[in-house]
Structure 1
Amino acid sequence: MSIIPSPQNLEQVFSSTNYFIDFYQRHYKWSKDPVERLLEDIFYKFNQDYDKICEKDNSVNAETIAARVSSYFLNTYVTNTIGTDVYLVDGQQRFTTLTLLFIQLYQLAIKFNSELQEWIKARVYGVSGPNKNFWVHHTKHVKTLEALLNNINFSDIESNGVTGSNMVNNSKIIKSYIEREITNLHKFDAFIYYLLRKIEILRLEVSQQDVPMVFEVINDRGVRLKPHEILKGKLLGQIDKDELELLKLNDIWETQIVKVGVGNDDDSDEIDKFFSSYIRSKVVDTRSALEKYTEKNYHKALFENESNLYFKLHRNPAEIKKFIQNDFIYFTNLYCKIRDLKDIFQEEYQHLYFNFLNDLSNIYILILSSIKHNDSKEDDKIKEVSYHLDRIFCLLQLQKADSNNLLTNLIYKISSEIRDSEVDLISIVFDKYLIDSLKTAKNTEVTEVFNYNYFKDVGYSDLNTRFSRYFLARIEYFLTKNAVAEMQNNFNNLVRNNGYANGHHIEHILSYNEENLLMFENEEIFERERNRLGGLLLLRGNSNQSSGNEKYVDKLKTYAQSLYWNATLNSDTYHSNLDLKNFKSRFDLDILPMSKFGPEELEARHRLLSKMILIIWS
Structure 2
Amino acid sequence: MSERANSIDGVAKTIAEILKDKKYSIDYYQREYKWETKQLAELVTDLTAKFLQLYSLDHKRTAVGGYPGYYLGSIIISQKGNQPFVVDGQQRLTTLTLLLTYLRRLQSDLGTPEVKIDELIYSESYGEKSFNLDVVDRNDCMQGLFEQGAYEAPPESVESVHTLVARYGEIDGLFPDELKGDALPYFIDWLKDRVQIVQITAYNDDDAYAIFETMNDRGLKLTPADMLKGYLLANIDDGMPRAKANDVWRSWMRRLDDLGESLSSDFLKTWLRSQYSTKIRERKKDAKPQDWDRIGTEFHRWLRGDSKRIGLTSSDAFGAFVTRDLDFYARQYERLTQAEVTFDPSSPLRFIRFNADHRFTLQDQMLLAPLRIDDDAASIDTKLEIVGRFIDILLAWRIWNFRATDYSTMQYGMTALMFRIRGLSSTELARELHRYLLNESETFESNDDLLVHQQNRGQLHKILARLTDYVTTQSGQASNYVELTGGTGVKYEVEHIWANHAERHTDEFAHEADFARHRNRIGDLLLLPKQHNGSYNDDTYEQKRPRYFSQNLLAASLDPQAYEKNPGFIRLVRNSGLKFRAYDTFTAASITERGDLFRAIAKQVWDPDDLLRVAGIVGAE
TM-score range, shorter chain: 0.5 to 0.7
Secondary structure at the aligned position of 2:460 is classed as helix
CA–CA separation in structure 2 for the residues paired with 1:36 and 1:420: 54
Give the alignment's TM-score, normalised by structure 2.
0.57
SS in 2 for 1:303: helix
Please state if 1:494 is matched with 2:484. yes
* Post-superposition offset of 1:473: 0.6
In structure 1, distance between residues paired with 2:279 and 2:536: 49
Secondary structure of residue in 2 paired with 1:370:
coil
Give 3-state SS (helix, strand or coil) of 1:507's partner: strand
Deviation of 1:317 after TM superposition, in Å, equals 2.8
In the TM superposition, residue 238 of structure 1 has moved relative to its aligned partner by 2.0
Name the counterpart of 1:522: 511
Which of the residues 395, 398, 416 maps onto 2:397? 395
Shift of 1:243: 5.2
Hey, what does 1:162 align to over in structure 2? none
Secondary structure at the aligned position of 1:297 is classed as helix
C-alpha spacing 1:425/1:407, structure 2 compared with 1 (3 Å): farther
Letter of the aligned partner of 1:600 in structure 2? A
Amino acid at match of 1:537: L
Structure 2 residue runs without a partner (length 5+): 11-203, 211-219, 282-289, 608-621
Counterpart residue type for residue 538 of structure 1 = L
Is 1:281–2:274 an aligned residue pair? yes
Question: Alignment partner of 2:304: what SS?
Answer: coil
Distance in 2 between residues matched to 1:308 and 1:531, nearest whole Å: 58
Counterpart pick for 2:419 among 396, 410, 416 = 416
User: Which of 327, 330, 336 is 1:329 aligned to?
Assistant: 327
CA change 1:241–1:312 in 2 (3 A) is: same
Q: Secondary structure at the match of 1:261?
A: helix
C-alpha spacing 1:249/1:354, structure 2 compared with 1 (3 Å) = same
Deviation (angstroms), 1:325: 2.2
Change in 2 beyond 3 A, CA 1:35/1:352: farther
Structure 2: which amino acid aligns with 1:392?
L
C-alpha deviation, 1:403, in angstroms:
6.8
Equivalent of 1:253 in 244, 249, 253 = 249
Q: Give me the whole-angstrom Cα distance separating, in 2, the residues matched to 1:461 and 1:241.
A: 62
Q: Measure, in 1, the Cα distance between the counterparts of 2:322 and 2:553.
A: 51
Identity of aligned residues (%): 19
Aligned partner of 2:606 in structure 1 is 617
Pair 1:34–1:283, CA change in 2 (3 A): farther
Of 484, 495, 499, the residue aligned with 1:511 is 499
Counterpart Cα distance in 2 of 1:505 and 1:601: 21
Is this contact kept in 1: 2:421–2:432, CA < 8 A?
Answer: yes
1:531 paired residue among 520, 523, 534: 520
How far apart, in 2, do the equivalents of 1:536 and 1:292 lie? 45
Q: Provide the rounded CA distance (Å) in 1 between the counterparts of 2:336 and 2:547.
A: 39
Shift of the alpha carbon at 1:600?
1.3
Q: Contact 2:400 / 2:444 at 8 angstroms: preserved in 1?
A: no
Q: Give the drift of 1:285.
A: 4.7
**Corresponding residue to 1:481 among 458, 473, 477:** 473
- Structure 1 counterpart of 2:257, one-letter code: G
Asked whether the 8 Å contact 1:559–1:566 carries over to 2, the reply is yes
Deviation at 1:451, TM superposition (A): 4.6
The residue number in structure 1 matching 2:367 is 367
Deviation at 1:230, TM superposition (A): 1.1
Partner of 1:588: 577
Q: Which residue of 1 aligns with 2:70?
A: none
**Shift of residue 361, structure 1, vs aligned partner:** 2.6
2:593 to 579, 601, 604: 604
Give the residue type in structure 1 aligned to 2:249. W
CA contact (8 A) 2:397 2:444 kept: no
Which residue of the partner structure matches residue 386 of structure 2?
384
Deviations 1:440-461 (A, max 9, x none): xx7xxxxxxx353x22111102
Q: Is the 8 A contact 1:252 1:324 kept in 2?
A: yes
Listed one character per residue, the Cα deviations across residues 74-99 of structure 1 (whole Å, up to 9, x for unaligned) are xxxxxxxxxxxxxxxxxxxxxxxxxx
Relative distance call for 1:462 and 1:312 in structure 2 (3 A) is farther
For 2:332 and 2:455, the matched residues in 1 are separated by 33
Q: CA deviation at 1:435?
A: 4.4
Contact 1:584 1:590 in 2 (8 A): yes
Instruction: Rate the CA distance shift 1:403–1:360 in 2: closer, same or farther, 3 A.
Output: closer
Instruction: Report what 1:71 is aligned to.
Output: none
When residues 433 and 521 of structure 1 are mapped into structure 2, their CA distance, relative to the original with a 3 A threshold, is farther
Q: Distance in 2 between matches of 1:504 and 1:424?
A: 39
Post-superposition shift, 1:479?
0.6
Against the structure 1 CA distance between its residues 469 and 285, is the aligned structure 2 distance closer, same or farther, given a 3 Å change threshold?
A: farther
Residues 465 and 496 of structure 1, relative CA distance in 2, 3 Å threshold: farther
Larger radius of gyration: 1
CA contact (8 A) 1:510 1:516 kept: no
In structure 2, the CA distance between the partners of 1:609 and 1:38, relative to structure 1 (3 Å rule), is closer
CA shift for structure 1 position 293: 1.8
> What's the CA shift for 1:483?
1.0
Amino acid of the structure 2 residue aligned with 1:456: D
Partners of 2:278 and 2:507 lie apart in 1 by 55
Equivalent positions of 1:241-320 (< 5 A) are 241-242=238-239, 244=241, 248-261=244-257, 269-285=262-278, 287-288=280-281, 289=290, 290-294=292-296, 296-305=297-306, 309=309, 311-313=310-312, 316-320=314-318
Matched AA of 2:275: K
Change (3 A) 1:321 1:574: same
Q: Using a 3 Å threshold, how does the CA distance of structure 1 residues 614 and 251 change in structure 2: closer, same or farther?
A: same
Partners of 1:244 and 1:34 in 2: CA distance: 46
Residue 575 of structure 1 aligns to which amino acid in structure 2?
A: E
Number of the residue aligned with 2:463? 471
C-alpha separation between the residues in 1 aligned to 2:560 and 2:462?
Answer: 26
Name the counterpart of 2:451. Answer: 459
SS for the counterpart of 1:248 is helix
SS in 2 for 1:505: strand
When residues 425 and 461 of structure 1 are mapped into structure 2, their CA distance, relative to the original with a 3 A threshold, is farther
Task: Please list every run of 5 or more consecutive structure 1 residues that lacks an aligned counterpart in the other structure.
Answer: 1-32, 40-169, 177-222, 443-449
1:372 is paired with a residue of what secondary structure? coil
| Number of aligned positions between the proteins | 386
* Correspondences of 1:11-26 after superposition (within 5 Å): none
Q: Say if 1:36 and 1:586 are closer, same or farther in 2 by CA, change over 3 A.
A: farther
CA distance in structure 2 between the aligned counterparts of 1:557 and 1:428, rounded to whole angstroms: 47
String of CA shifts for 1:129-151, please: whole Å, max 9, x gaps.
Answer: xxxxxxxxxxxxxxxxxxxxxxx
Give the AA of the match of 1:391.
Answer: I
Q: 1:224/1:34 Cα in 2 relative to 1: closer, same or farther (>3 Å)?
A: farther
CA contact (8 A) 1:511 1:549 kept: yes
Q: 1:525 offset after TM fit, Å?
A: 2.0
**Bigger mean CA offset, 268-277 vs 406-415:** 406-415
Q: How far, CA to CA, are the matches of 1:432 and 1:34 in structure 2?
A: 67
Kindly report which structure 2 residues correspond to 1:96-245, keeping only aligned pairs within 5 A, or say none: 224-242=221-239, 244=241
Shift of 1:328: 1.2
Cα distance, 1:408 vs structure 2: 2.4
- Correspondence 1:549 to 2:538: yes
C-alpha contact (below 8 Å) 2:256/2:334 kept by paired residues: yes
Take 2:245 and 2:5, find their aligned partners in 1: how far apart are those partners?
30
Q: Distance in 1 between matches of 2:236 and 2:606?
A: 50
1:520-572 alpha-carbon deviations (Å, 9 max, x no partner): 24222222211111111111111111121221111113312222111100111
Confirm or deny: 8 A CA contact 2:472 2:552 kept in the other structure: no
1:324-365 per-position Cα deviation (integer Å, ceiling 9, x unaligned): 221111111111122223322112232122122222232210
Secondary structure at 2:495's aligned position in 1? strand
Kept in 2, the 8 Å contact 1:393–1:407? The answer is no
The one-letter code sitting in structure 2 at the alignment partner of 1:321 is G
Give the superposed CA RMSD.
3.1
Superposition deviation, residue 240 in structure 1 = 3.2
Q: Which amino acid aligns with 2:343?
A: F
